Structure formats: C-alpha cells, structure tokens
Amino acid sequence: MSVEHTRELIQLILNSVLMVLGCVLMLGRLGARYDQVETRLLILKRQCFELLDASSGRANSLIQAKQQLRQFQYRYRWLSYGMFWTNYALLMAIASTLLLSLRTLIDFEWLVVVSLVAFVVGIGLLLVAMICVVVDLHHSPRSLLTDTLELLGATRGSEVTHWRRRSLRVASSQDRLAPMRVPLKTRIG
C-alpha cells in the first residue's frame, strides 16, 4: 500500500469516526428528549384518569387533557422513530469504521467500496432521524428556539420559562410605564 493510499484510508477512517461521534451525540440528546416527553406523557395519562374519576363538571379540562395526551403521543412516536433510525445510523458508521480498519490489515479493494456504501447509508439514516426530530419540534407546544436550545443542551427549559415568567410578572405588577429589565443571558449549567 502506497503512502497516498494510506493517507486516503486514514481520511476515510476519520470521517467514519466523526460520524460515529455525531450519531452518539444525537442519540444522547434524543434520549434525553425522549425521556422528557415520556414523563410528560405519563403525567398526562394520570391526569386524564383522575379527571375521568372526578365529577362531570370538569368536561373542558378532560377535553384539553385528552388533546394534550394525543399531541404528546404523536411526538413520542416521532421521537421513537428518530431514535430507531439514529441507532441504525450509528450501526452503519461503526460498520464503516470497522471495514476501513480491516482494509489496513487485509489488501482487499472491495472493503473500501463496501465501507463507503455503509457510510452513505448511515448518513441517509441520520438524515431520516433528523427529519423525525424536526417533525417533533414542529409539533411541540413550546417555541422552536426553546426546544432547539434544550435539544442542543445549551439551556434547561425551566430556566428559560422562569425568566419569561419573572419578566412578565414584573411588568404586570408595575402601574407606571418603565422599561422592563430582562436579563441578556440565562444561566447555563
């Protein structure tokens, strides 16, 4: 194997390793989001059962709870699809890395071709998983910025809503027209 072939092989291996890292990061964030939606779904199911057992005077609350329950079930389904496709994308990225590593040991040219096919299939599966995440973000009741920041791990959702509530509470409690103080940065951590 020449120096040029070795350099190209190392670049291909690094691409596959970076894809593995991207898949692992996305899988971690998707897992956290999946757990949040699942927890909220369980809470809504419990609320629906409590409202069914309660008196019939709470018909509006029961209807709203059932609508939220359907919405979270839909989001839960799309997140499970996203996790499914991300797992397979991770599997393809690992297979691509393994095949390229085998190519350094065994002098078979077809290993590179099979590895590139696995890499391209993995990228396609990762894009399908991202589409599932976008569908979930589209059906989220919160703003896209809040969900995206939470998905990326930049902030916790409760802090963002805490600052919004605080700024709205301060504004509504004042009778005079004064500029409202809103923090430029929220705490990250």
Which helix (H) or strand (E) segment holds residue 43: the answer is helix 3-53
Backbone angles phi, psi at 40, to 5 degrees: -65, -35
Other beta carbons less than 10 A from residue 164's beta carbon: 14
Other beta carbons less than 10 A from residue 3's beta carbon: 7
Give pLDDT, residue 30: 87
| Torsion sign (Cα): 149, 151, 155, 158 | positive
Residue 7 half-sphere exposure, CB side, CA atoms within 13 Å?
3
pLDDT for 150-169, tens place per residue? 666 666 544 444 444 443 34
Q: Which letter does DSSP use for residue 141 in this model?
A: S
Other beta carbons less than 10 A from residue 39's beta carbon: 11
Give pLDDT, residue 172: 41
Give pLDDT, residue 150: 67
Q: Which residues of the chain, if any, have pLDDT below 50?
A: 157-184, 186-189
Q: In the chain, what are the domain boundaries?
A: 3-140, 155-189
Q: Please provide the DSSP assignment of 81-135 as one string.
A: HHHHHHHHHHHHHHHHHHHHHHHHHS--THHHHHHHHHHHHHHHHHHHHHHHHHH
